Chain A
Amino acid sequence: MNKIPSVGIYFHYENNGYSNGLNKQKIEKYSDQIPGVRYIGNSHDLPPIDKNIFIEKLKGSRVSKLLIAGYDPGMVKPFFTRIMSESGLDPTNITLCNFRDYGIMGRADEQMAESLIYCAVMTVNPDEIINKVVKQKNQDTLVIGGGIAGIQASLEIANSNHKVSLLERTGTIGGHMAMFDKTFPTLDCAACILTPKMVDVGLHPNIDLMTYSEVKEVTGGPGNYKVKILKKARRVDLKTCIGCGICSEKCPAKASSEFDAGTTLRKAIYIPFPQAVPNKYLIDEKSCIYVTKGKCGVCAKVCPANAVRLDEQDQEIEITVGNIVVATGFKTFDAGKVANFGYGTFPNVLTSLELERLVNAAGPTGGNITQRTKDKKGNWIFTEEGAEPESVAIIHCVGSRDVNNHQYCSRVCCMYSLKLAHLVSEKLPDARITEYYIDIRAFGKGYEEFYERIKQEGIEMIRGRTAKIEERNGKLHLRSEDIINNKLIESEVDMVILAVGLEPREDAQSLAKMLGIDTNKDGWFEEANYLTDPTSTHSGGITIAGVCQGPKDIPDTVAQASAAACSVIQNLITKKNKTLDKTVLISLVEEYVNKLSEITEDQI
């Protein structure tokens, strides 16, 4: 039986905009009506704080304890300690209630603030109470995004004997990593690492893989999220399709291949790449003639397994999960935005992602690095027969470290540029390869050594950002300052590679809103604490992993995905949330606390 002491409450706010969205009056009004609580003031009402006002207020009241709530209340604790003793009260009887510890910043967090205050007044541990109120009910997990991050997290959770639903927007899992030939710094074959993991996901009894699907709506709370999922029509039955590919051979319609970063075409009925998981075909309704114009149907006729369902419709399903891992990755910066580089105008100015496909043996040119050539219809295309470039320039920091685009460093482009330089020189030993950089950021284990190795291989490194690319007589003309050698460089090359940075997906904002998580100013998902809790968010039960949280390479992505899985498993085992849920209902908290300590007015 707790006896309610008479509590004075003071609110300490800051002026840096962190909590602008919070309705402070509402919280103050709420705390004032808690039995036994006396409102003393807040830092907005009384700047500068006048000692005597407080002493008077405290002396005349029956307050025996002081609660300081708000942001970093510890800052004003010494002041109030003095006031307490000058008012003849016990100066040690001060409780702090720091909103910042719980990420309270906006309108949605008011109930959380109120819960904290209520628990503090009742001298019970808020973490415990709130976790009791929002129980971990559901033991299943949803992973959004099937890149290396999503794959890793799914496998970790599934291997701990918990059910996982893995949601992927495209027709296959794998994400960006599946597009690469080799990975830095070890130059391991990307497919050799990724494919077994993808197959594991496809076969795992605990993983329910949903490709070609998207999240439509998320409701409920931690431990009990209701997720509406839109399963887009693949128009090919997953169970019966045997992956023979006859349909694709006969299909008359073509569209640009997403997997090959637009360097070649694919059919309207297609498999993203030969190792895709699931290894089944699907129809792209934007390019299919049957869907757009109502005639054709060739694929359905030739399919030996009768798997084509041309009239299949999108479907909506709802699942319930306890935890969600967000691993939606990134998209590359649109190089066309840097007008001076002429991407999109000059056929042989490519992005790094396009080059990744060119060097890949399974790519559009069978791994031959060739220049774009004009076909009969006048389109610029890549073919195996195209001329090999004699000189290649790689330009760093395209779209990154630039106030006109993204101010942040994309972290992987220095290293992948070195990797690409190596891969090109391996295939074209006579080509002159030059990298134009601002700084080389080789920050990881073995990375600086990798950089040294690439330099040894004869790749020319020039410190100086290229300012402009022009086309003269079919050659690309670059202008840069060579800062180390103190001269201007005007060079002519056959091919230019733009090391484009990473940026958040187009739907990152809307997804964040749907999930109730925050994004930072650049649009990356915001973690609970960058230093100590980089995978949790302020929404209990929702964790983030991979590049969607901020640019990182594959080793870091995988590490973070495992860490996110660990948080989830911790939640599942302890049946409570590692991070508290902010969307708690204050009425439930009150009810729960009151049950703990039945208090009556006259006890006060």
Chain B
Amino acid sequence: MNNRVNPGFKKELQKFGMSEQWNECFHCGNCTAICPLSENEVLFPRKGIRVIQMGLKDKLASYVEPWMCYYCGECSETCPRDANPGELMMTLRRYLTSVYDWTGMSRKFYTSKWWELSYILFFALLVIVLFLIYLPLRPDAYLMVNESGGVMLNHLVAGISGDQFIRIIEFGDWAMAIIVAFILVSNILNMFYKIILSNKSFKVPFYAYFTEFWRLIYNFVTQSKFSKCDDKNYWVGHMLLMTGYTTMFILVVVALPAFQTEKVVDWYNWQRLLGYYATFGILFFLTVVTIGRIRKKDIKLQYSHSTDWLFIIMLGLTTITGIVLHIFRLAGLPAATYYMYILHLAILVPMIMVEVPFSKWSHLAYRPFAIYFSRLKQVALSKQYSTGLAPAI
């Protein structure tokens, strides 16, 4: 591995987040010791600072530790030099996302607002144009109200049946899911290469790939590492968002025909209850984080990257348009429902196209994989170093 010292590297890193505050660090080790998630063989965040201060760019590409950090902020609060190591871990997650992403889009989005905005606008317009041209509102849409007064959402489009409409949307869903999944999976493979394969200093025993696999599943579902942080509320908030988002995702992609029903089903039916839960979870998280980012009291919310705001805005708009759509539907306003539906998708689609493969939501996938990879590495190292003495840094 090329471990040349590259002093200019910190300039590059600056684009991904905070200023050079971390350079204040005098390596006291407080942050590593206070971090509830740091453990032997996976020491962070101090060692990360060392790596950057020395400008070891390639070393950093194989550095999995930032993914172990759930940003509880304890290290930054107690750092005697105000070096803000927690925020550095956040910055590194952004940076690493761009390292894993072979398409280069992630890097563009993180380093330039305009790139990201144009990309979003492109997809938004695409959705709107496709709808208006190929799925126009039927002239007699006002008739599409059922006996309980709700709008028959699937029958608003001229010239096709409800079933056809659902199938078209479903097709769009799956197409999007496949593209996104393809990028994400190839990025994860790239990550695997960077962390495990390219690192010649250890060799993972074959059986470990299987014995450690359950961790991947477990961590994905429970986010259990998170609950180790002293701030339990934070874990609850994050869990709400995670489960809410995943529920919504399953509802609109996998179970679309059951979710987007002909009639508005009664409120106690599972589709509606799940939908409400998901909406509540996302809204709750959004409110807390937005207030936090504006107030800047909580150390982990003091620095907001432009992508953080964009994410909050997109998610907020998606949720709000979803709610309004629901209200219009209940109120029996077919035309309004139709346009709100387009608007909803025009925000949702670009959000998914940006966030899932290239930005925040990709962390959801990188995190459990990082834990998996780091376990692999640990298993490999424990075979090699009996005393736990790994090379310094």
Chain A residues packing against B (C-beta within 8 Å): 340, 397, 401-404, 438, 463-468, 479-489
A41→B16 CA distance, assembly (Å): 50
Given A464-B32, A486-B43, output 12 extra A-B contacts at Cβ < 8 Å: A340-B34, A401-B26, A401-B28, A402-B80, A403-B81, A438-B28, A464-B29, A467-B31, A480-B33, A481-B38, A481-B43, A486-B389
A403→B30 CA distance, assembly (Å): 13
* Residue of A with least CB distance to B50: A483
The yes or no answer to B205 lying at the interface (CB within 8 A) is no
The yes or no answer to B392 lying at the interface (CB within 8 A) is yes
**Interfacial chain A residues near B390, Cβ < 8 Å:** 486
**Interfacial chain A residues near B29, Cβ < 8 Å:** 438, 463-465, 467, 480-483
Interface centre among B33, B46, B389, B391 (most CB of A within 10 A): B33
Q: Is B389's CB under 8 angstroms from A485's CB?
A: yes
**Interfacial chain B residues near A438, Cβ < 8 Å:** 26-29
Give the number of residues in B that approach A within 8 Å (Cβ atoms): 24
Q: Is B28's CB under 8 angstroms from A465's CB?
A: yes
- 9 closest Cβ contacts across the A-B interface? A481-B29, A464-B29, A467-B33, A467-B34, A402-B80, A481-B32, A465-B28, A465-B30, A438-B28
A402→B81 CA distance, assembly (Å): 6
**Interfacial chain B residues near A403, Cβ < 8 Å:** 79-82
**Interfacial chain B residues near A464, Cβ < 8 Å:** 28-29, 32-33
The B interface is mostly helix, strand or loop, or mixed, namely: loop
Q: Is B78's CB under 8 angstroms from A487's CB?
A: no
A463→B30 CA distance, assembly (Å): 11
The yes or no answer to B388 lying at the interface (CB within 8 A) is yes
Q: Is B39's CB under 8 angstroms from A488's CB?
A: yes
Query: In whole Å, how far is A40's beta carbon from the nearest beta carbon of chain B?
Result: 44
A50→B81 CA distance, assembly (Å): 45
> What 0/1 pattern do residues 55 to 69 of B give for CB contact below 8 A with A?
000000000000000
The yes or no answer to B40 lying at the interface (CB within 8 A) is yes
A480→B31 CA distance, assembly (Å): 9
Which B336-393 residues have a C-beta within 8 angstroms of A? 388-392
Q: Is A488's CB under 8 angstroms from B80's CB?
A: no
What would be 20 A-B contacts, judged by CB atoms less than 8 Å apart? A340-B34, A397-B28, A403-B82, A404-B78, A438-B29, A463-B29, A464-B29, A464-B32, A467-B30, A467-B32, A467-B34, A468-B33, A479-B34, A480-B29, A481-B32, A481-B38, A481-B46, A483-B46, A484-B392, A487-B388
Query: In whole Å, how far is A549's beta carbon from the nearest beta carbon of chain B?
Result: 24
Given contacts A481-B43, A485-B389, A486-B392, contact A466 B82 (CB under 8 A): no
A397→B28 CA distance, assembly (Å): 10
* Residue of A with least CB distance to B392: A486
A390→B345 CA distance, assembly (Å): 68
* Residue of A with least CB distance to B81: A403
Interface centre among B28, B31, B32, B81 (most CB of A within 10 A): B28
* Residue of B with least CB distance to A464: B29
Query: In whole Å, how far is A393's beta carbon from the nearest beta carbon of chain B?
Result: 13
A494→B38 CA distance, assembly (Å): 25
Pick the residue among B27, B38, B78, B392 that contacts A340 (CB under 8 A): B78
Query: In whole Å, how far is B381's beta carbon from the nearest beta carbon of chain A?
Result: 12
Q: Is B33's CB under 8 angstroms from A487's CB?
A: no
**Interfacial chain B residues near A486, Cβ < 8 Å:** 43, 388-392
Q: Is B27's CB under 8 angstroms from A483's CB?
A: yes
Query: In whole Å, how far is B147's beta carbon from the nearest beta carbon of chain A?
Result: 64
A153→B27 CA distance, assembly (Å): 41
Query: In whole Å, how far is A576's beta carbon from the nearest beta carbon of chain B?
Result: 47
A438→B33 CA distance, assembly (Å): 13
Given contacts A403-B80, A466-B33, contact A488 B38 (CB under 8 A): yes
Query: In whole Å, how far is A161's beta carbon from the nearest beta carbon of chain B?
Result: 50
A147→B26 CA distance, assembly (Å): 35
**Interfacial chain A residues near B389, Cβ < 8 Å:** 485-487
* Residue of B with least CB distance to A436: B29
A486→B42 CA distance, assembly (Å): 10
Query: In whole Å, how far is A39's beta carbon from the nearest beta carbon of chain B?
Result: 46
A482→B40 CA distance, assembly (Å): 10
Query: In whole Å, how far is B305's beta carbon from the nearest beta carbon of chain A?
Result: 24
**Interfacial chain A residues near B46, Cβ < 8 Å:** 481, 483
A463→B81 CA distance, assembly (Å): 17
Pick the residue among B43, B78, B392 that contacts A488 (CB under 8 A): B43
Query: In whole Å, how far is B121's beta carbon from the nearest beta carbon of chain A?
Result: 43
**Interfacial chain B residues near A485, Cβ < 8 Å:** 389
Given contacts A481-B33, A488-B40, contact A467 B78 (CB under 8 A): yes
* Residue of A with least CB distance to B77: A404
**Interfacial chain A residues near B82, Cβ < 8 Å:** 403
**Interfacial chain B residues near A463, Cβ < 8 Å:** 29
**Interfacial chain A residues near B38, Cβ < 8 Å:** 481, 488
Q: Is A487's CB under 8 angstroms from B43's CB?
A: yes
Query: In whole Å, how far is A60's beta carbon from the nearest beta carbon of chain B?
Result: 53
* Residue of B with least CB distance to A401: B80
Q: Is A488's CB under 8 angstroms from B81's CB?
A: no
Query: In whole Å, how far is B80's beta carbon from the nearest beta carbon of chain A?
Result: 4
* Residue of B with least CB distance to A437: B28
Query: In whole Å, how far is B37's beta carbon from the nearest beta carbon of chain A?
Result: 11
**Interfacial chain A residues near B43, Cβ < 8 Å:** 481, 486-488
* Residue of A with least CB distance to B75: A467
Query: In whole Å, how far is A452's beta carbon from the nearest beta carbon of chain B?
Result: 23
Query: In whole Å, how far is A228's beta carbon from the nearest beta carbon of chain B?
Result: 43
